[in-house]
Structures are given as C-alpha cells and as structure tokens.
Amino acid sequence: MDAVRKETARWLAFSLTCALGSAGLGWLAPAMPLKSWVGGTAVLTAWLLLPLATVLVPMLGLRRVPRAQRKMAWQLIVPVVAGVALGVVALEAGQQSALAERGRWTTATVVDIEDARTDRCTLQRRADGTRISPTLSEGDGCRSVSKSDILRVRYDPEGVAGPVTDAESDSYGGLIAGLVLAAVAMGTWGSVRMSRWDRAYAAS
C-alpha cells in the first residue's frame, strides 16, 4: 500500500509540474519580457513539450511491458489537450499583464493589412513614424479597417506583447485553474493506471 501511495504521489507531482510549467512558461514569455529566442523556446515548451511529456513519460516508463504490447490510458488525452490550452491561455494572460504594466497609448496609422486566414495590420506611430511590433491581430482590432485608417492603440514598447485597441481585460484565472485541475487529475489517474498495468505484467 505504501508503494502505491508513493507512486500516486510521484505521478501527482509530475502532472502538477507539467501543468504549472505550461501555464507559467506561457505567461512568462510576454510578461517578463523574454528575448525572442528565449520566449520562443518557452512557448514551444509550454505548448508542445510539456503536454507531450504527460503521455511519453508514462509510456516510456513501462519498462517491463514490451513496446509492441504497450497501450495508453485514455485519461492521458485530457492533460495533453489541457496542457496545450494552458499554454495558449496563459500566453494571452501574460500579454494582457504586460500591456497593463508597461503598455502605452498612441495613435497609429494602418500602413499594411495582411489578408490571410486571420487579418493582421501593420501599424505606424503617427508621432515619429516608427512601426509598432508585433502586428495588430484581427481579434484585437484589425477587423473592418482599411489602409490609412487611424487607430488609437495600446502597445508594448518592448515589442513582445501584441497591441490592442481595447484595453478592457478579461479574467483568465478561473479558466487556468480549471485546466490545471483537469490536467493534474486525469494525468495522475492515467499514469497510475499505466503503472498498474506494468506491475500486473511483471507479476504474470
């Protein structure tokens, strides 16, 4: 029984680390702000590496079950999806936090519109003609605008968080907490099940 409890605690700690890691790294990239390559690595880890680890670590940990006979517990689908969602939502929360802390208001001219799957507007500050980086996304104000339109935007002088035309903030705390709870609960359950299969195979 003690061995089972230790195993459960170990998988609980692992799932919690992955979930909080995805949330923390996603938030940290724009809020810090991190340099472009460091921030890119943090986002990649939050969106891809940590969610995949919730499946790969239990799978690779089945040392006694032959690879051809290994199977994945269905519960582990949840922490993968929740981990990706955590990275995305935390990134949005981090950008919002960055703009709230260091953002500045300015008037800008739309100098170019990238017409892709979602529109993105290139903005130029009217005060000194400098470009605002990154571009304005469709969801943050690049919708139903034309070239030469003048917008009032809040932008990040560090060029990390994307500009917005509306400074109203959304609360992501409840969503992040729910995703962490789902990822940890299902990740622990699925990993414990896979460890149980490993012990049962060894006993047979």
User: What is the reported pLDDT for 75?
Assistant: 95
Cis before residue 163, ω within 30 degrees of 0? no
Distance CA 42, CA 95 (A): 14
Helices then strands, counting H and E runs in the chain, come out as 5, 4
Tally of CB atoms within 10 A around 139: 12
Q: In the predicted model, is pLDDT for residue 47 greater than 90?
A: yes
Model confidence at 33, in pLDDT bands (50, 70, 90)?
Answer: confident
Q: In the predicted model, is pLDDT for residue 168 greater than 80?
A: no
User: What is the reported pLDDT for 170?
Assistant: 75
| Sole residue written with tokens 């799978």 | 59
Residues contacting residue 157 through CB under 8 Å, at least 6 positions apart: 102, 104
CB 122 within 8 A of CB 135: yes
Mean pLDDT of 125-142: 90
Token duo for residue 83: 């981990």
Tally of CB atoms within 10 A around 121: 28
CB 109 within 8 A of CB 124: yes
Who wins on pLDDT, 70 or 36? 70
> Which DSSP letter does residue 116 get?
S
Q: In the predicted model, is pLDDT for residue 109 greater than 80?
A: yes
Q: In the predicted model, is pLDDT for residue 187 greater than 90?
A: yes
Q: Which one-letter amino acid corresponds to residue 35? A: K
H or E stretch including 77?
helix 77-102
Q: In the predicted model, is pLDDT for residue 1 greater than 70?
A: no
Q: In the predicted model, is pLDDT for residue 45 greater than 80?
A: yes
User: What is the reported pLDDT for 198?
Assistant: 87
